[in-house]
Chains A and B, each alone.
Chain A
Amino acid sequence: MTLSLVMHDWRLLERIVGLTNRLGCAYTRVDVHAGESHYHATIDFVGPPDALRRLDAQLSRLLNDDKEMSR
């Protein structure tokens, strides 16, 4: 599963790594590029399909809160 994520706080990567591990998944590639007001990360995740689905959903929630905190 490859996700393109927009982070306003780059420290969110720490939470993404933690959640990935917690759900029994792993990542095989992380690319992060800094923009003017946010960071763009492309991450390849591997793991059981159910866990990846949960990870995707939880990351969406995390990124929504990050976006709201940046307003």
Chain B
Amino acid sequence: MSQPAASTGAQLVLDVLADEGVEIVFGYPGGANMPLYDALYGNPIEHVLTRHEAAAAFAAGGYARSSGRVGVCFATSGPGATNLVTGLLDAQMDSVPVVAITGQVRTALMGTDGFQEADVTSIMGPVTKRSVCVRDVRDLERVVRAAFRVARGPRPGPVLVDIPSDILKAKCPPMDPFAARPVPATPEYPDDAALDETIALLRAAQRPVAIVGGGARSANAVYLFRELTAMLELPHTATINGLGCATPGDPRFLGMLGMHGWKAANLAVNSADVLLALGMRFDDRVTGKPDRFARNAKIVHADVDASEFGKIVPISVALRGDLRQTLERLVRRLGRDKMPSFAGWAAEAKALGGALPADRAPHGELSATDVLDAFFAVAPDDTIVSTDVGQHQMWAAQRQRAIHPRNFITSAGLGSMGFGLPAAIGAQFAHPDRTVVAVCGDGGFQMSMSELATLRRHQLPVKILLIDNQRLGMVRQWQELFYERRYSHTDLSDNPDFVTIASGYGIRAERVEDAGELRDAIERFLGTKEPALLHCACFPAENVWPLIPPGATVDDAMEGAPQPEAIVA
């Protein structure tokens, strides 16, 4: 019997990736990962060359967020690897499954300050679930496979595998596709006593509210959340990562919760007597001052990660386990008993808040909120929206109409500018037939606009809705409100001509500055099958309302400054 042909570490990595279901990798080659790129030459795994490693990490995150599959990125040693840091931390903060594979200098050079050497596993430790350097080719397959298992869950997140170039070149036996491998752990679910306690609290409740977070998306529990809220006629709200979990058009959905959340959502949570917190982690942008958050509520917290229980706010009941398993059991038990309907309270809660307040320009200039209102009115229902970070992100989150949580992707926990466009690229590769729109501000777009080249190369039909208010708007807003209008370094009034820049990359672009032209411009923009940029020149002084100041509560919410101040550029 003939022996199978010898493989190399690099080939083995690609074989394992393919076996794990990987079809696409975002990355950038360099010295130490050249063996991997050599093996990639002619390999069926698609590789997308981003123009910066940071974009590769964000694109892998966008791919994973929009599809639920593991996103994969490659980078070389030293600067290539360190450029992944922000994207991996972004994935860590929002529990997004990403596997990063970095080249490392050859083992003999490690620790000598060799060219492009960095202690990558130490650097990446705090920004990943695990970061491991493989120093023996015999460990390679096991470690890469484990990276996928750990990235997938129970709570998803990023894992980094650092591979020295001599390990990538080393001869090794080929992957045995039939070898026995560890299987993922069985999902856990809460015990009956905790479920009984939850049901007892709900039965006694007068004003219960459910809050859903990104955990419902990760656990594929969205349909169960919808069933639960419908069954009890329960008013509900969402963290920014939980947007899209509610049934579209459900009148009991109160909108986004938190600092820039809808008034009804914040007031309902504040007056709730029972809070059902599902797959969310009580971020400070949600709670404000934690000891004044939902003061009258008993909190039932369901999460797969026990370290979240009691981390920020005290809870009454912990439902530890996979959220899908948890909700399946909860819904089944609730279905057996006669439960009260909370329809009356849901209507009352909805009436706690009105329309979103918005600033208008003194001379009728284009406003960002008008742009977003028009965009969401025209965009197809299944549009995937990826936002960058800042005011436009909050305006979009307030107005989005996502029918599924994988349709609204945003750097929520980390709030990393530069995320929007590369994440949209990842989402478009995951969903080639869907409309994918990157909603960006002028600040964040300039952090990753070199990815226009990636769009161009792949003729990827990502649309960029550029909200240009010539300011770092969120910081400017805080300077206006909390720093006595001392506008320190937030002026971007010397922005480049974005239409010319996009055109230089071969991307169709148009500028709109007149509200009367807006609707037609958005229809043209969304109607094209090509990549496109719509540059919306908006007035600079528009603020995001409502606003609960940092460390404050819903009682301190600001609903707007009636007269936008005149900005002197």
Bound complex: CA of A52 vs CA of B466, how far in Å?
A: 45
What distance in Å separates the Cβ of A16 from its nearest Cβ neighbour in chain B?
Answer: 10
Residue positions of A touching B, CB distance < 8 A: 9, 11, 14-15, 18-19, 22, 53-54, 57-58, 60-61, 65-66, 68-71
> Quick check: A57 and B130 within 8 Å, CB to CB?
no
Which of B126, B142, B185, B307 interacts with A60 by CB under 8 Å?
B307
Partner of A69 from B143, B185, B305, B309 at Cβ < 8 Å: B143
A14–B182 CA distance with the chains assembled, in angstroms: 27
- Closest A residue by C-beta to B128: A65
Complexed CA–CA distance, A8 and B330 (Å): 37
Contact of A65 among B150, B182, B310 (CB under 8 A): B150
CB-CB under 8 A for A57 and B143, given A14-B122, A66-B130, A69-B150: no
Most A CB atoms within 10 A — which of B122, B150, B159, B306?
B150
B-side contacts of A54, CB under 8 Å? 307, 311
User: Contacts A14-B122, A57-B306, A57-B307: A69 and B132 contacting too (C-beta < 8 A)?
Assistant: yes
Q: Can you name the residue of chain A whose Cβ is closest to the Cβ of B157?
A: A65
- The answer to the question of B125 belonging to the interface, with a C-beta cut-off of 8 Å to chain A, is yes
B147 with A69: CB separation less than 8 A: yes
What does the 1/0 interface line of B312-354 toward A look like (CB < 8 Å)? 0000000000000000000000000000000000000000000
If A14-B125, A15-B125 touch, whether A69 touches B307 (CB-CB below 8 Å) is no
Q: Are B146 and A69 in touch, CB under 8 angstroms?
A: yes
Residue of A nearest to B132 (CB): A69
Name A57's contact: one of B122, B149, B155, B311 (CB within 8 Å): B311
Which residues 436-466 of B have a CB within 8 angstroms of A?
A: none
Q: For window 339-387 of chain B, which residues contact chain A by CB distance below 8 Å?
A: none
Contacts of B307 in A (CB 8 A): 54, 57-58, 60-61
Chain A residues within 8 Å of B149, by CB = 68, 71
Interface class of chain A by DSSP: helix
Chain A residues closer than 8 Å to B309, beta-carbon distance: 57
Complex interface: chain A residues within 8 A of B126 (CB): 15, 18-19, 22
Q: Given A9-B132, A15-B125, are A53 and B310 also a contact pair (CB < 8 Å)? A: yes
Asked whether A18 lies within 8 Å of B125 as measured between CB atoms, the reply is yes
B residues at A contact (CB < 8 Å):
121-122, 125-126, 129-130, 132, 142-143, 146-147, 149-150, 155, 159, 182, 185, 305-307, 309-311
In the assembly, what is the distance between CA of A60 and CA of B305, in Å? 10
Check if B311 sits within 8 Å of A68, measured CB to CB: no
Cα A22 to Cα B142 with chains together (Å): 31
A70 to B305, CA, bound (A): 20
Query: What are 6 residue pairs bridging A and B, where the CB atoms are less than 8 Å apart in the complex?
Result: A9-B132, A53-B310, A57-B307, A65-B130, A66-B130, A71-B149
* Smallest CB separation, A21 vs chain B (Å): 11
Most buried by B among A15, A19, A58, A69: A69
Smallest CB separation, A63 vs chain B (Å): 11
Return chain B residues, CB-CB under 8 Å to A71: 142, 146, 149, 182
Given contacts A14-B125, A53-B310, A57-B306, 19 further A-B contacts (CB under 8 A): A11-B121, A15-B126, A18-B126, A54-B311, A57-B307, A57-B309, A58-B307, A60-B307, A61-B305, A61-B307, A65-B129, A66-B130, A68-B185, A69-B130, A69-B147, A70-B146, A71-B142, A71-B146, A71-B149
Which residue on A lies nearest to B311, using beta carbons?
A54
Distance in Å: Cβ of A10 to nearest Cβ of chain B: 12
CA distance A60 to B130 in the complex (A): 13
- Contacts A11-B121, A18-B125: A60 and B306 contacting too (C-beta < 8 A)? yes
Expressed in whole angstroms, the minimum distance between the Cβ of A70 and any Cβ of chain B is: 7
Q: How far is the CB of B533 from chain A (nearest CB, A)?
A: 41
What B residues does A22 contact at CB under 8 A? 126
Q: How far is the CB of B3 from chain A (nearest CB, A)?
A: 28
Q: Give the complex CA separation of A22 and B310 in angstroms.
A: 18
CB-nearest residue of chain B to A19: B126
Determine whether the beta carbon of A68 is less than 8 Å from that of B306: no
- Whole-angstrom distance between the Cβ of B418 and the nearest chain A Cβ: 25
Task: Report the minimum CB–CB distance from B28 to chain A (whole Å).
Answer: 25
Q: Complex: how many Å from CA A15 to CA B121?
A: 11
Chain A residues with CB under 8 A of B305: 61
Which of A22, A53, A60, A61 gathers most chain B CB within 10 Å? Answer: A61
Q: Which residues of A contact B150 (CB under 8 A)?
A: 65, 68-69
Q: How far is the CB of B346 from chain A (nearest CB, A)?
A: 34
Q: A57 CB to closest chain B CB, in angstroms?
A: 3
Closest to B154 in A: A64
Nearest CB of A to B350, in Å: 36
Least CB separation from B183: chain A residue: A71
Please, which residues of chain A bring their CB within 8 A of the CB of B185? 68
CA distance A10 to B233 in the complex (A): 51
CB of B188 to closest CB in A, whole Å? 11
A9 to B129, CA, bound (A): 13
**In the complex, are the beta carbons of A68 and B146 less than 8 A apart?**
yes
**Please, which residues of chain B bring their CB within 8 A of the CB of A19?**
126
**Residues of chain A with a CB closer than 8 A to B129's CB:** 65
Cα distance, A15 to B309, chains bound together (Å): 21
User: CA separation between A14 and B311, bound complex, in Å?
Assistant: 23
How many angstroms from the CA of A68 to the CA of B121 in the assembled complex? 17
| CB of A6 to closest CB in B, whole Å | 15
Residue of B nearest to A53 (CB): B310
A58 (CB) vs chain B CBs: closest residue: B307
